[in-house]
Chains A and B, each alone.
Chain A
Amino acid sequence: MAAGALKDATAIVGIGQTPFAKQLPESEKALACRAILAALDDAGISPAEVDGFASYTMEETDEVEIAKAIGAGDVTFFSKVGYGGGGSCATLAHLASAVATGQASVGVAWRSRKRGSGRRPWTNTQVQLPTPGQWTRPYGLLRPADEIGMLTRRHMHEYGTTRDHLFNVALACRNRANQNPAAQMYERPMTRESYMTARMISDPLCLFDNCLETDGALAAVIVSAERARDCRQKPVYLHSVAQGLPAQHHGMVNYWNDDPLSGPAWTAARQLWKQADFGPEDIDVAQIYDAFTPLIPLSLEGYGFCGRGEGGAFTEGGALEIGGRLPINTSGGGLSEAYVHGFNLITEGVKQLRGTSTAQVPDAATCLVTAGEGVPTSAVLLRS
């Protein structure tokens, strides 16, 4: 196939989700089935037609269990993507490739996670740590917040990024969540004072720089553009997809290369824009992975919305709010709607292009969705 062959070749035609809460009674498997069946119902496609699956390596419900529970037919493509939240958009990319090349016709991507009531992954010291762990964890750099906090302090030092810039990110997400009845923070407004006086988690990062802890599941259905025209919902096309693992990258402990502050977003962005008919200036709304507030300035730089080091300053003047230069995370994102490894950013991107978001950007026709920055990542450009 020629370069660019995936452009607009497939579309998201169904999305589904469960409620989001600190604690839900059902199992991850039951939640996964509910989200997937809701997405197929949204698309108007029978579960018996599903022949492709994609999820994250951290997903604990597998294709065998899901396929037999929902009554899928013969499955001819299944794929899982690594690096936690870095894999979110890659699930769509893998399904787009599979559908466009005829390896499957109806693809389902999903994420189900009881991270709200379950264990924090970093507390499990019994699992063999990945290799970099021997160089970081014994010194008390235990959690993702510590690892990203280290890069944040350096960004502040080099570029003058401030806690007010990070507050701008947290506030934009919270304001959108306050418009979204499904969001965990729907009825919880945030003020600058509540942000600035919140307890520290890994100084310079405070509580509100960290994402939520959520039980919940989401899913999306992908078919060919041709078939999408006959589905129940307005198609949202996968215009461009990309994964990114830069040379000499080390994950969230990216301290050991020439340029630790330019991460996987830069690599994914080059591939993403190269295949697209439009650029950053043409994006109406963005859903940017927000496990931590500083990932927004880093991603704004990486995806080319501003210059190197300008990600903090970009957030000033309400730029990230509705009506600003680049409205982001319009459901509330991982910081204020739900943290399900970024899958709610995908479904919100679809809602924006259908015109059904609770914080609708008028006439939104293009949306960037990104996966986790600071780990091997992925991204998609959606268009209506």
Chain B
Amino acid sequence: MTSSDLLAPVVDDDGAPFWEYTAQHELRVQACANPECGELRFPPRPCCPHCRSFDSEWRRMSGKGRIWSYVFPHPPLLPAYAEMAPYNAIVVELADAPRIRLVGNLVTEAGAPWNSVDPSRLKIGARVQVVFARIGEFTMPQWVLER
């Protein structure tokens, strides 16, 4: 597998700051900047669905979370993904904001393959911590089991 064959995020205007922060190894989530509201929202969007303010900020998360669900994709898959299959894809709910959930991969350490963790170790509710790995042009958040 070469990392350049994996799909890169197709970034839109609303999502661009997320990737600028991951490049600095920071996990940040969009939040309403209206002081009377302040609600987090994901995926990012132009205005706040709670108070309709267009003012937003990017709030830093601790990077701790729990596995909400997971799958093990098997072929047929795009070639770069088929080479790793079966790998894991997980949804993590953030400890700071349980309704904010991020899709990712559970790995043994930053940059390790997506099939590096024994499948039997994936459990809903397992505590995980974000790490960051450069894949192609992007710095992607990944997840490791909390020790």
Contacts and interface: CB of A to CB of B under 8 A. Distances in A.
Asked if A and B bind, the verdict is: yes
Interface of A: 120, 123, 125, 128-129, 131-143, 145-146, 149-151, 153-154, 157, 199-205, 248, 250, 253, 255-258
B7 A154 contact: no
A203 B74 contact: yes
B99 A200 contact: no
A139 B11 contact: no
A200 B103 contact: no
B112 interface: no
B124 A154 contact: yes
Contacts of A131: 12, 14-15, 43
Nearest to B136: A138
Contacts of B10: 128-129, 133-134
B23 interface: no
Interface in B69-103: 69-74, 76-78, 81, 84, 86-87, 89, 91, 99-103
Contact of A140 (B42, B43, B68, B73): B73
Question: DSSP class of A's interface residues: helix, strand, loop or mixed?
Answer: mixed
Nearest to A205: B71
A248 B74 contact: no
Given A141-B89, A142-B77, A200-B86, A132 B69 contact: no
Contacts of B102: 135
Given A125-B7, A149-B71, A139 B89 contact: yes
B117 to A, nearest CB: 14
B100 A256 contact: yes
B81 A142 contact: yes
Given A157-B124, A255-B68, A135 B103 contact: yes
A157 B9 contact: no
